[in-house]
């Protein structure tokens, strides 16, 4: 574990942030309204895409959000060059996250609302507006609108972390049958990620700019704040040492949040206790996912301070804490596993400058990495099934 002092780290961050856009905040203050129910008669805005097709989606096809555009792109991971791009569907400005339902519907968060995409016909079937006032529709790192997204275990609800520029965010609950927002819950600032407990009783919003996770009870919609700040909160909104994405450990439901390739925060969401374990990659870490066996996959986007930090990488951390670090060529953001767990798809897009338009395809057995050019700032990746319900 790299044991640099926090003071030294902050000094390095100050020097870097003076010249490079990064994981900072536009500041400001604000709040969110208490939980409210949607009024009767609220309906989804249904906007079919004109480019729909009845073609089946082959098993293992990827669906990628194009944060630098207004589309999601279907990708053949075995394709090469232009052959890998299977076409795109317009969903809304600056799409961020994807949650995939067993019925083949992909729920995509955008700056304008939550888009529902039928992955079999490849068309947008709805654009559901937010209840939260996020200001003008914009693009870029600090744009308002949906960020993290997750589905309830029974598929009846979509949980969306909504960013409010300059203020606290909200968790919006979308009824997938009614296709409208039914509940709004205040959470922290810039909810990068949203996860759900295996029993569906709790939703976790990972709030980047407030150094915390909001634990939301789906029974009464109450929320508890759990601070997750293994380096402290010094530097405030300008700090890079903040949480980004969370994985829920299958064995016990613990929340796993990596920091800087140095520290893994293990959070008991029931008690709020945070335990720190050592990590080895020594790189600024973002995306994370957990395999069915508890193996953790963590994306390192690259150095904050090139004089001290290592480059981009994918950490494969076993349930026993042993780590294998696979170098990546160029920065990456999120990670998704293939259905058989043998391949990791790592997105090259960022919300900030420094992105590249493609995916890293990592053979987890050999460690071999293939770069697959596709998309426009590709950010989130979902692995689709064979076009039939339940095939995701």
Is 225 inside any structural domain? yes
CA–CA separation, 55 vs 123, rounded Å? 11
What 3 state SS string does 112-155 have? CCEEEEECCCCEEEEEECCCCCCCCCCCCCCCCEEEEEEECCCC
Can you give the pLDDT at residue 385?
78
Position with higher pLDDT, 12 vs 249: 249
Q: What is the pLDDT of residue 36?
A: 38
pLDDT tens sequence across 271-313: 999 999 999 999 999 999 999 999 999 999 999 899 999 999 9
Task: List b or e across 200-210, with b for residues whose CB sees 16 or more CB atoms inside 10 angstroms.
Answer: eebbbbbbbbb
With bands split at pLDDT 50, 70 and 90, how would you rate the model's confidence at 354? Answer: confident
Q: Is residue 239 part of a domain?
A: yes
Burial degree of 58 (CB within 10 A; 0-12, 13-18, 19+):
middle
Residue 18 in domain: no
Tell me, yes or no, whether 40 lies in a domain.
Answer: no
Q: Is residue 271 domain-resident? A: yes
Q: Does pLDDT of 22 surpass 70? A: no
When mean pLDDT is compared across 2-16, 126-140, 253-267, the lowest value belongs to 2-16
Full strand arrangement of the beta sheet holding 170-175: 36-37, 180-186, 170-175, 157-163, 145-151
Judged against a pLDDT cut of 50, whether residue 382 lies above it is answered with: yes
360 is a domain residue: yes
Domain ranges, residue 152:
45-383
Say which residue, 47 or 122, is predicted with more confidence. 122
Q: What is the pLDDT of residues 42-90, one digit of tens each?
A: 333 333 443 444 456 677 999 999 999 999 999 999 987 777 999 999 9
Report the CATH number that the domain containing residue 118 is assigned in CATH.
2.130.10.10
Total domains present in the chain: 1
As given in the structure block, the two tokens for residue 23 are: 């994981």
Would you state the pLDDT for residue 23? 65
Beta strand 157-163 with 170-175: parallel, antiparallel or unpaired? antiparallel
Is 266 within a domain?
A: yes
Indicate whether 389 belongs to any domain: no
Report which secondary-structure segment, H or E, holds 16.
Answer: helix 6-17
């Amino acid at each position: 574990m790299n044991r640099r002092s926090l003071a030294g780290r902050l000094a390095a961050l100050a020097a870097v942030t003076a010249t490079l856009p990064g994981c900072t905040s536009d500041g400001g203050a604000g709040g969110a309204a208490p939980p409210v129910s949607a009024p009767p008669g609220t309906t989804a805005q249904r906007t079919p895409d004109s480019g729909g097709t009845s073609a089946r989606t082959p098993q293992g096809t990827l669906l990628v959000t194009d944060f630098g555009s207004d589309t999601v792109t279907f990708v053949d991971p075995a394709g090469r060059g232009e052959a890998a791009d299977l076409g795109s569907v317009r969903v809304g400005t600056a799409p961020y996250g994807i949650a995939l339902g067993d019925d083949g519907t992909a729920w995509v968060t955008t700056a304008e609302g939550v888009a529902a995409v039928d992955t079999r016909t490849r068309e947008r079937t709805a654009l559901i507006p937010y209840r939260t006032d996020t200001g003008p529709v914009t693009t870029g790192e600090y744009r308002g609108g949906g960020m993290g997204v997750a589905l309830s275990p029974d598929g009846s609800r979509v949980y969306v972390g909504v960013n409010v520029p300059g203020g606290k965010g909200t968790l919006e609950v979308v009824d997938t049958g009614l296709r409208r927002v039914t509940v709004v819950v205040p959470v922290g600032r810039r909810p990068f990620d949203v996860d759900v407990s295996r029993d569906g009783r709790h939703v976790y919003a990972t709030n980047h700019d407030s150094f915390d996770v909001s634990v939301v009870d789906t029974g009464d919609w109450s929320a508890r704040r759990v601070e997750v700040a293994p380096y402290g909160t010094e530097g405030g909104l300008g700090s890079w040492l903040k949480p980004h994405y969370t994985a829920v450990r299958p064995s016990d439901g613990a929340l796993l949040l990596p920091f800087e390739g140095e520290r893994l925060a293990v959070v008991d969401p029931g008690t709020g206790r945070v335990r720190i374990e050592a990590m080895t990659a020594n790189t600024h870490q973002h995306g994370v996912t957990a395999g069915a066996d508890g193996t953790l996959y963590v994306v390192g986007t690259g150095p904050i301070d090139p004089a001290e930090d290592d480059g981009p990488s994918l950490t494969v951390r076993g349930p026993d804490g042993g780590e294998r670090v696979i170098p990546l060529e160029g920065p990456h953001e999120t990670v998704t596993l293939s259905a058989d767990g043998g391949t990791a798809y790592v997105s090259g897009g960022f919300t900030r400058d420094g992105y590249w338009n493609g995916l890293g395809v990592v053979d987890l057995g050999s460690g071999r990495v293939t770069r697959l050019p596709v998309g426009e700032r590709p950010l989130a990746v979902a692995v689709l099934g064979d076009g039939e319900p339940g095939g995701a």
